[in-house]
């Protein structure tokens, strides 16, 4: 396979997580008799542009289909983050009622609702029908399309040249990353700004966050790789900030190379230097993840087997994609993890892909009073442990598996 950024041949493996179904392909009860599509989950590193990427086995339209079940608004932490983002961008870039804001991967309107509330014209691009419909129900204008140069040209011809374009947690999800970025250079006004947020490679590697690897994430991004990708597609990175979201993310600010350019902030060089010092351009840097993943798998299985032997009941919380990567890599089934609770009604009553563990409503936790609750989206541990504070009343404990097993 060749790099999806620069087309150089890929020869440096990062990790092989075996085979699993796509992480958001939840199984309906009436389809339990049918086979799932198990595909290899292998990640490699380009030694030319240092883009870390999955090997291609599945098409985007099969991963992000009409039944795609990730709705951003079910996380209170994420809503607060989106509201803060809108306030900061309005302030920093002087957005007014005359401005135009376009969000790519608008999901269920979790962010644009705060733009609309300020009386600023906004448009969402969202290819998955389920979430697009939820956004429309908030009164937002949504185009059900995959974004790229063609979509951008169409929207520009309709008067949607943008002062601000937002793209949160989508840059990693696109197979043709050059076409995607080229769309931003097309749709931005000469004075416009686009922001990309994505989980950053440095924290993924430092925290052994191998469970953030899944088929829907085609790329794993450093600023080193993103800067090269942007320059190739008519964009310039002019600022970057660190975020705590998704276990450690970057927010990258870009502008058109041929537009009215802002000064490049010192934070850009500081981040590039930090990545260089960490070793992102060395082969040795990428050798640590596979052994760490194996250790995490073994520690989790030891804990689950011991709990079973002791007659303890373990359940999960959060039917998130990262949990599916972990459970399928470790081979966990309902005999060791009885069920997983999730607040999203679109997931309840279905089964996790691969493991076939049932998904139930959070109310089930208080009914059954399990001994342990394994929090699969460990990045939301604080939020989840507050929401489920009643677990402490029966001496229940919270457990996380990444970056190391902790019983809390």
The string of DSSP letters for 111-180 reads: THHHHHTTT-EEEEE---HHHHHHHHTTT--EE-S--SHHHHHHHHHTT--EEEEEEES-GGG-S-HHHH
Q: Is 52 exposed, middle or buried (0-12, 13-18, 19+ CB in 10 A)?
A: buried
- Euclidean distance between CA atoms 345 and 392, whole angstroms: 25
The per-residue pLDDT for 145 is 94
**Tokens linked to 82:** 């989106």
The per-residue pLDDT for 68 is 52
3-class DSSP assignment, residue 201: helix
Local confidence pLDDT in tens for the 408 residues of the chain: 999 999 999 999 999 999 999 888 999 999 999 999 999 999 999 999 999 999 876 555 555 554 555 666 667 888 999 999 999 999 999 999 999 999 999 999 999 999 999 999 999 999 989 899 999 999 999 999 999 999 999 999 999 999 999 999 999 999 999 999 999 999 999 999 999 999 999 999 999 999 999 988 999 999 999 999 999 999 999 999 999 887 789 999 999 999 999 999 999 999 999 999 999 999 999 999 999 999 999 999 999 999 999 999 999 999 988 999 999 999 999 999 999 999 999 899 999 999 999 999 999 999 999 999 999 999 889 999 999 999 999 999 999 999 999 999
The per-residue pLDDT for 112 is 98
**Tokens linked to 160:** 């949607």
- Residues with Cβ < 8 Å from 397, sequence gap 6 or more? 371, 372, 373, 391, 407, 408
Query: Buried b / exposed e across 370-385, counting CB within 10 Å, b at 16+?
Result: bbbbbbbbbbbbebbb
Q: What angle do CA 299, 403, 334 make, to 5 degrees?
A: 50
The per-residue pLDDT for 254 is 98
- Residues with Cβ < 8 Å from 215, sequence gap 6 or more? 20, 22, 23, 39, 41, 54, 57, 58, 63
Is the domain defined by 72-286 classed in CATH 3.30.390.10? no
- Residues with Cβ < 8 Å from 251, sequence gap 6 or more? 195, 196, 197, 240, 241, 243
The per-residue pLDDT for 246 is 76
Pairing of β 397-400 and β 406-407: antiparallel
The per-residue pLDDT for 56 is 77
Cα-based distances in Å from 72 to 94, 287, 302: 27, 33, 33
The per-residue pLDDT for 216 is 85
Q: What is the DSSP letter of 221?
A: B
- Euclidean distance between CA atoms 53 and 3, whole angstroms: 8
Domain(s) labelled CATH 3.40.50.150 in the chain stretch across 72-286
Give the gyration radius of the chain's Cα atoms.
21
- Euclidean distance between CA atoms 41 and 22, whole angstroms: 9
The string of DSSP letters for 303-369 reads: HHHHHHHTT--EEEE---HHHHHHHHHHT--TTTS--EE-S-TTTTTSB-TTT--BEE-THHHHHH-
- Euclidean distance between CA atoms 102 and 376, whole angstroms: 32
Task: Compute φ and ψ for 35, nearest 5 degrees.
Answer: -75, 150
Domain(s) labelled CATH 3.40.50.720 in the chain stretch across 289-407
- Euclidean distance between CA atoms 387 and 341, whole angstroms: 12
Dihedral, CA atoms, 191, 192, 197, 200, nearest 10 degrees?
Answer: -30
C-alpha 98: how far from its chain's center?
Answer: 32
Q: Which CATH class is domain 289-407?
A: alpha beta
């Amino acid at each position: 396979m060749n790099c999806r950024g620069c087309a150089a041949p890929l020869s440096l493996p990062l990790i092989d997580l075996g085979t699993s179904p796509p992480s958001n392909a939840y199984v309906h009860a009436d389809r339990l008799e049918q086979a799932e599509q198990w595909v290899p989950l292998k990640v490699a590193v380009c030694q030319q542009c240092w883009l870390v990427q999955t090997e291609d086995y599945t098409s985007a339209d099969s991963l992000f289909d009409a039944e795609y079940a990730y709705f951003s608004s079910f996380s209170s932490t994420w809503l607060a983050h989106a509201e803060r983002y809108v306030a900061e961008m309005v302030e920093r870039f002087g957005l007014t009622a005359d401005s135009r804001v376009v969000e790519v991967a608008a999901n269920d309107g979790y962010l644009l609702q705060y733009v609309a509330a300020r009386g600023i014209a906004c448009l969402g691009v969202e290819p998955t029908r389920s979430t697009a419909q939820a956004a429309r129900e908030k009164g937002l204008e949504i185009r059900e399309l995959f974004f790229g140069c063609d979509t951008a040209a169409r929207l520009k011809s309709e008067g949607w040249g943008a002062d601000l374009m937002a793209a949160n947690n989508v840059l990693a999800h696109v197979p043709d990353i050059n076409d995607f970025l080229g769309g931003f250079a097309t749709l931005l006004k000469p004075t416009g700004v686009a922001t990309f947020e994505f989980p950053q490679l440095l924290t993924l590697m430092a925290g052994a966050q191998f469970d953030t690897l899944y088929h829907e994430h085609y790329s794993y991004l450093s600023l080193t790789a993103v800067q090269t990708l942007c320059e190739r597609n008519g964009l310039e990175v002019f600022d970057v900030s660190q975020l705590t979201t998704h276990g450690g993310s970057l927010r990258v600010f870009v502008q058109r190379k041929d537009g009215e350019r802002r000064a490049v902030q010192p934070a850009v060089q500081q981040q590039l230097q930090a990545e260089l010092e960490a070793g992102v351009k060395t082969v040795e840097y990428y050798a640590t993840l596979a052994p760490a993943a194996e250790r995490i798998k073994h520690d989790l299985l030891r804990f689950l087997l011991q709990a079973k032997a002791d007659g303890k009941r373990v359940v999960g919380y959060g039917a998130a994609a990262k949990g599916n990567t972990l459970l399928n890599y470790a081979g966990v089934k309902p005999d060791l993890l009885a069920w997983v609770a999730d607040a999203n009604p679109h997931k309840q009553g279905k089964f996790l892909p691969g493991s076939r563990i049932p998904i139930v409503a959070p109310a089930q936790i208080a009914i059954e009073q399990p001994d342990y609750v394994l929090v699969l989206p460990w990045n939301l541990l604080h939020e989840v442990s507050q929401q489920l504070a009643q677990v402490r009343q029966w001496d229940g404990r919270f457990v996380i598996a990444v970056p190391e097993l902790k019983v809390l």
